[in-house]
Amino acid sequence: MKPLQVEYKNERFHPPVGPSETFEQQYSPLYSLRIRQLKPILLTRMKIEWGISEETVLPKILGLINALPEEGQVSSEKYVVGCIYKDTPIRPSFLKDYTKFVIPSSLEVEAREDGDLAEVMTELDEKLTFEEAEKDLAETIMQRGLENSFPKTGPESQTTVEAYKYLTKLHRKEKLWFEDESGRVEVDNLAKVFTDSSGINSLEVVSGMVIAAEGRLNHHTGKFAISRWMMTGLNDLRCEEARHSEVLSGKKESDRYVAFLSTLDCEGASLTDGSETKHMKKGPNIPMTSSFYRNKLSSLFKSNSLPSNQDNSLPPVKAICEKVKYFVICGGLVPDLDEVGSGSENKLSAFEVAQRKSQIRLDSEETTSKRETTALNMQEADKFLSHLIDENELSEPCDRRLCVMPSQREPSNHFYPQQPLYSFCFPKTAGKRMGNPDKCWKVDLATNPNHISIQKSSAAGEYMATEVTIIGTSGENIRDCMRYSHNLISEIDWIERTLLCRHICPTAPDTLPCFPYRVKGTKRFGQSHLSSNTSEEGVGSDPFCLLKETMGNGKAAPDVLFAGACEKFSTRYLPAVKRRLIAVPKFSKTHSFCVMNIDSPTLETFEIRLDEGGTSTEAESVK
């Protein structure tokens, strides 16, 4: 079986080198660039679906004011393209965190007594009335199975009520703004968020999404009432030629698989008892620890220890593991030391989680301890990887590849796009690979996001050369979108929405930190407008946009879009545009990973789940 030809196209995910590599510039040009890139696609879709010509669309949001009718006349519907900004209380605020650490508690009490903070405290503790909205939201929560996604402060029967209170508090304080480089206007009809009305639903959008909207501007309140709206969509993808149309007979004998794994949570000796039996059960009711499943996972790909599967309706697990030629670890090699516990007593609201993540850490001893713990955890991850890539039992050269992506847990830069981990973080893995390259997997250290191109050419003319493009992240973009949509939209739905809005991480740079790319032709901070030395260095496109210009291979979007660190495995195939979406589960919690058939016409994806017995595996297929 011929190995997969893998190529990385992550040039745009590397920060610019040279004079433009600076944090002096502002982020506003990046939003303007995003609108300019996506607006042509939106104009085309508006013409097709709404029957609107390009001349009818206002060139700027500021044109809404100029288009106001005279007194006594009725305002007509206007069409405009812009960017959403979502103002919500759970959005991290540096000023709030700074005030918490700088203002002493006594002064804070005095301030409350003086009334400076009384209004804020009253808003947080206000009593809510339920009325008709309670029924609508309760039905929505129960239909989507989200009753356990919110903090519990009372009996089980009060879960939905508490969820309603939590969301209602936020929505009373939330605002949506519609903006472009000319200005912004507040969206008027947020009262319809819990209904199926034609107005925009704030639960379905996040900051940074570029949309087209139809609505009227209220000349009394100055707010824009949106009657209908649309995202960029996938209309331009329907014109692409179908992949895999050249597949011939004999495909089942040549299937090759790509495996996706996320959130291993390798813990060093400082977080365990340090014994050699730490992977064993310590009681009849105590579940196996993650180290046991990591060892089981590693042994799963050894040729002499592949288990069999009794389910004949699915491809045998043994055959699948033998044909996995490419293995992607989507971040999470080590645990998040700041992660909130998963127990019910530790469930916090999104607001509390966001504040905890944004706290200023002044304790140097705590920082030093975390660094030491991270170093020990990385040593454990290196040990696991060195065992995983070892194929000494093979009689022929190894043709497998391993790709390791960083996340915000590993020692990499915090800003998107995250750069590859350094090879010296994995001395055992690198040493084993250098000592016996023919008997070890090839190891690639990639960026986050990661753009992978696989050439599907195989021997004997079974297939013609076909490129499959895969783009994915370690999951930070999806978690950020879910945090500001209050978890009412599932992970796989948000992966689809990032494809529909044609942007990998729409919330960057607002709530997801990213590098402040400077647009070509823009002046640097502090540069005089009279200066003749205006630099043209910078980027000509938003690197996170999913367009032909940024993809670089003639495709307008990837064939596969994945995200790691998801709560459960899920996959979706979009037959109209022949795209596959994958939510990669957390291995440390689900003890499962997923594999994708790269030679399948629909890129069929399975979940392989490890059990505690250590003798069999279970595979699930979700199409």
The string of DSSP codes covering 416-430 is BSBPPPPGGG-HHHH
For residue 33, pLDDT beyond 50: yes
Query: Residue 554: left (phi > 0), alpha (psi -120 to 50), or beta?
Result: left
For residue 342, pLDDT beyond 70: no
Q: Which two tokens stand for residue 498?
A: 């990032």
pTM higher than the cut 0.75? yes
Cα 502–chain centre separation: 13
Sign of the CA dihedral running 170, 171, 173, 175: positive
Q: What average pLDDT does range 63-68 have in this prediction?
A: 79
Question: In this structure, are residues 226 and 217 in contact, taking their beta carbons and an 8 Å threshold?
Answer: no
For residue 49, pLDDT beyond 80: yes
Model pLDDT for residues 468-509, shown as the tens digit of each residue: 999 999 999 999 998 888 777 889 999 999 999 999 999 999
pLDDT band at 551 (very low <50, low <70, confident <90, very high): confident
**For residue 563, what pLDDT is reported?**
97
Model pLDDT for residues 185-233, shown as the tens digit of each residue: 999 865 444 444 456 777 788 999 999 999 988 877 888 988 889 999 8
Collect contacts of 524-533 with beta carbons under 8 A, ≥24 apart.
Answer: 524/22, 524/24, 524/25, 525/24, 525/25, 525/26, 526/24
Q: Which two tokens stand for residue 426?
A: 């994995």
**Lowest mean pLDDT across 127-131, 362-366, 611-615:** 127-131
Q: Which residues pair with 78 in a beta bridge?
A: 215
Q: Which residues of 333-345 are buried (b: 16+ CB within 10 A; e: fewer)?
A: bbbeeeeeeeeee
Q: 473 φ, ψ to 5°? A: -130, 175
For residue 310, pLDDT beyond 70: no
Q: What average pLDDT does range 144-169 have in this prediction?
A: 54
For residue 308, pLDDT beyond 50: no
Q: 105 φ, ψ to 5°? A: -60, -35
Q: Which residues of 70-107 are buried (b: 16+ CB within 10 A; e: fewer)?
A: eeeeeeeebbbbbbbbbebbbbeeeeeeeeeeeeeeee
pLDDT band at 329 (very low <50, low <70, confident <90, very high): very high
For residue 514, pLDDT beyond 50: yes
Q: What average pLDDT does range 356-372 have in this prediction?
A: 57
Give the domain ranges of the chain: 28-237
Please return the burial class of 282, using the count of CB atoms within 10 Å of its CB with bins 0-12, 13-18 and 19+: exposed
Model pLDDT for residues 114-146, shown as the tens digit of each residue: 444 344 334 433 433 334 444 555 555 555 555
Q: What average pLDDT does range 420-435 have in this prediction?
A: 88
Closest CA to 450 of 412, 404, 510: 404
Sign of the CA dihedral running 35, 38, 41, 46: negative
**For residue 507, what pLDDT is reported?**
93
Taking the CB of residue 125, how many other CB atoms lie within 10 A of it?
8
Level-2 CATH architecture, domain 28-237: Beta Barrel (2.40)
**For residue 197, what pLDDT is reported?**
46
More confidently predicted of 349 and 45:
45
Q: What average pLDDT does range 161-188 have in this prediction?
A: 78
Most confident of 110-124, 527-541, 558-572: 558-572
Residue 221: partners with Cβ closer than 8 Å, 6 or more residues away: 188
User: Percentage of the chain surpassing pLDDT 90?
Assistant: 32
